[in-house]
Amino acid sequence: MIEKILPSQVTVAEALSDPPDASLFPGEEELIRNAVESRRKEFITARWCARRALGELGLAPVPILKGERGAPIWPRGVVGSMTHCVGYRAAVVARRADVLTVGIDAEPHDPLPDRVLETIALATELQRERELRETSPEIRWDRLLFSAKESVYKAWFPLTHRWLGFEQAEIVLRRDGTFTAELLISATVPDPAGGSTAAPSAFCGRWLVADGLVATAIAVVNEADAHTG
């Protein structure tokens, strides 16, 4: 499903159920030692998907451990993102030479719980959500906004290693299946040579509603690859 809203440079692996033969790799058990069974299944299957996606890149399966703020630690030269919700798990990866960063999120296509929208949305976003709901009530725009903010964070943090609150990105959802995110915070992106460049001030993303789910994705394709691809 989610491959429909990602560029060809990104490899996708998905699961609609938890494979009985999926297992943990060394070091991963420690990350969920005290987790409830439902959380264990999500964790294991998401990493099963991640290893399948890495295999599509020609890379050997490896443990997917957690780094700063719980972000997945990918093999050197790889960017990626994972998501899971009831009935769906997915992982996406790409070579850093092709894609600067990627973030995905999937949610049930249901209304957000009471008062959550007011917690995560800016005043301008609340107004747009009301307008979209009036003209296209078949879409759960509140859940879509939440998912888009999750994808923004997953794309932002690996670049900058800085927290991004819900209020620090303004999302504009469009009916055509796209959205933009203006980052209301500045940061830098470190490079291997020891310098840094300014982090993106905005992201462009895509969204999809299908099979009772809403999915959002952001992938920043490296400019050189975009010009040759």
What are φ and ψ of residue 160, in 5° steps? -110, -20
pLDDT tens digits along 75-124: 999 999 999 999 999 999 999 999 999 999 999 999 999 999 999 999 99
pLDDT at 88: 96
Closest CA to 105 of 7, 221, 218: 218
Can you tell me the distance from the alpha carbon of 4 to that of 217, in angstroms, rounded to the nearest whole number? Answer: 10
Report whether pLDDT(225) > 80. Answer: no
Residue 174, CA atoms < 13 Å, CB-side half-sphere: 9
Percent of the chain at pLDDT exceeding 90:
86
Confidence of residue 208 (pLDDT cuts 50, 70, 90): very high
pLDDT at 189: 79
Instruction: Give the domains, in start order, of the chain with CATH numbers.
Output: 2-228 (3.90.470.20)
Model-level pTM?
0.92
218: DSSP letter: E
pLDDT tens digits along 133-187: 999 999 999 999 999 999 999 999 999 999 999 999 999 999 999 999 999 998 8
Report whether pLDDT(226) > 60. Answer: no
What is each CA distance from 24 to 28, 43, 60, 74, 202, in whole angstroms?
Answer: 6, 9, 15, 16, 36
